[in-house]
Amino acid sequence: MNTDAVIQAELGKVGVGIIIRDSTGNVLASSAQSIEVEFSPSITEAFVLLKGLKMARESGLWPCEVEIDARNVVHLIGSPNPLLSEIGLVIKDIKLILETSPKCSMAFVRSANMVAHHLAKLGLEMDNDCFWMEDCPPPPRVVPFVLGGCPSLM
């Protein structure tokens, strides 16, 4: 699973992108959403990850590998120390969900997060949350990244 957030601070909006794939790279589910929040970038990335984990759990697509492009969020999730800050509440919720799947791994990735990033950009343009099961949205700016990151679909 990959998640990403695109922040449009001047409008108080965040684009949310979530993509869940199987071990061969086939898309199991994806989502593009827009939310109105004014969090720091770290809290926003953690919040979007939490949304992705909840989406995966609720749709029965529990991921084994979670990849995000927010190194500090990955570090905070891996830290055994409790956080007494705003982000600590979100990290605590993420850890509670992850504890239900001990085989789940978390990793920082930069280049492999392009599909989630483009879904998040698409989310900024949307008035409604969109979810696709076993699919991705049709816009040409998202599909090439799905195919490019998944040679088995080419």
Tell me: the pLDDT tens digits for 10-38? Answer: 989 999 999 998 888 888 999 999 999 88
Q: What is the pLDDT of residue 151?
A: 38
Question: pTM of the prediction?
Answer: 0.86
Taking only the tens place, the pLDDT of each residue in 27-70 is 899 999 999 988 899 999 999 999 999 999 998 888 678 999 99
CATH architecture assignment, domain 2-135: 2-Layer Sandwich (3.30)
Residue 92 contacts residue 133 (beta carbons within 8 Å):
no
Taking only the tens place, the pLDDT of each residue in 104-153 is 889 999 777 888 998 999 999 988 898 988 876 655 556 555 555 543 33
- Chain centroid to Cα 26, Å, comes to 16
Residue 4 CB-density burial (10 A; 0-12 exposed, 13-18 middle, 19+ buried): buried
